[in-house]
Amino acid sequence: MKRAALYMRVSTVDQHPETQLLDLRQLAAQRGYAIMREYTDTLSGTKSKRPGLDQMMADARRGRFDVVVVWAFDRLARSTRHFLEILDELNHLNIEFVSFRENIDTGGPLGRAMIIIVGAIAELERNLIIERVRAGMRRARLEGQQIGRRPLELDEAAIARDRAQGQSLRQVARNHQISTATVRKVLNRVHPPCVERVKTGPSGTRMNTGPETAA
């Protein structure tokens, strides 16, 4: 027996969810669903904060039911995009979706075809958003605007001087409000590490010719 969640929404306090509730309970009984919980919101469909819907999606992520039953598409989401996002998430959670008015059931062939279409539209929407973001970043760069965090402005001479005076890497990092890794990078730029030049003598012995600054 499949575990079902019923979701209802009415736009004003003058409307009553009982009308939707009776239809959904009857539908659940006909299909042999076990109703785990009923979720209700009393507000406009355009409102972004919907406690009932938010709680239902949280329970869906916890695997507390197998199918979501709603009275109509427009009762579930505040916009087409929002509806596609919800359906896409339910599909990824392996939760079926049933709408009473539209007679859509994602557990059937027509419903599964609809999910494929919804998934493709949702992916297209995500790609369009990504492309718009990238286009905005390209335009900002062309206009000379800074993208992301500004580079650190470091007093490399002061960092090298503090280290030369005997301060530890942690002390230098704390004084200049940077990480110890950044301190090491600065010191390597100011005082590159030295390597030893080794030559082989006539008899094959190794000869140390002294330190050489790394390029």
Closest of 35, 38, 45, 50 to residue 15, by C-alpha: 45
Tokens representing residue 70 in the block: 């709603």
Task: Tell me the residue length of the chain.
Answer: 215
Q: Which residues contact 215 (CB under 8 A, 6 or more apart)?
A: none
**Looking at residue 191, what DSSP letter applies?**
S
44 catalytic residue (yes or no): no
Please tell me which residue in 11, 44, 79, 168 is annotated as part of the active site. 11
Closest of 61, 72, 69, 13 to residue 36, by C-alpha: 69
Alpha helices per DSSP H over the chain = 18-31, 51-61, 73-76, 80-92, 109-142, 156-164, 169-176, 180-190
- Amino acid 152 reads L
Contact assessment for residue 96 and residue 107, using Cβ atoms and an 8 Å cutoff: yes
Q: Which residues contact 81 (CB under 8 A, 6 or more apart)?
A: 125
Give the residue numbers marked as catalytic.
Answer: 11
